[in-house]
Chain A
Amino acid sequence: AQRVTQPEKLLSVFKGAPVELKCNYSYSGSPELFWYVQYSRQRLQLLLRHISRESIKGFTADLNKGETSFHLKKPFAQEEDSAMYYCALKTNNAGNMLTFGGGTRLMVKP
């Protein structure tokens, strides 16, 4: 069965510091990984997906199949990055089903 683990419930950094939110997954097939974000009083929304290999709001994430990880990184955190971040795994079964990790709250202090 598939599983997504985000080991840190809370990550607190100062503005301008680098950020790395960890995500590990277990899945026997070919995975597709995503990061979703929920800002205060807003809906859960897609931040980025590994197949796009894109940088969104300065965030990047690289899929490492050897380490089964998909860590989210940003070189210089901003206060507006404060939010809940969820890593999600899409499995190659019928449908577009996502399995979410438990989430990490990022707090960026001024």
Chain B
Amino acid sequence: EAGVAQSPRYKIIEKRQSVAFWCNPISGHATLYWYQQILGQGPKLLIQFQNNGVVDDSQLPKDRFSAERLKGVDSTLKIQPAKLEDSAVYLCASSPTGTGGVGELFFGEGSRLTVL
């Protein structure tokens, strides 16, 4: 089966510019996650969707980050305006179930953002 697809793989922007990342989960997976992984750290959850609804976005910096999953399939994460500290790998993951699931997340290859 095809894995989680993300694009672009790499992006370099200047601070105060905007950027968008796209994710297509594994077909049939109801739950989609965006994680931020700063160099040397573990992944940190930004937002979790169940179908097209938000389950948790408590760690999403909402003044500059936004995410949507309009049709319950693919998703877009946007940063506007970007700051230097947003430099990180943005990981998208999906899982078949939400509440009560067994904890296996399927990850994409990630989108590496460098903010200059």
Contacts and interface: CB of A to CB of B under 8 A. Distances in A.
- The interface centre, meaning the residue of A51, A93, A94 with most chain B CB atoms within 10 A of its CB, is A94
Nearest to A100: B42
* 7 pairs of A and B residues whose beta carbons are closest in the complex: A100-B42, A96-B101, A95-B55, A44-B107, A90-B103, A102-B42, A46-B104
Interface string A1-40: 0001010010000000000000000000000101000000
Interface of A: 4, 6, 9, 32, 34, 43-46, 49, 51, 86, 88, 90, 93-103
B72 interface: no
Contacts of A51: 102
B14 interface: no
B42 A43 contact: no
B43 A44 contact: yes
Interface in B66-116: 91, 93, 95, 97-110
Contact of B48 (A88, A95, A99, A102): A95
B98 A102 contact: no
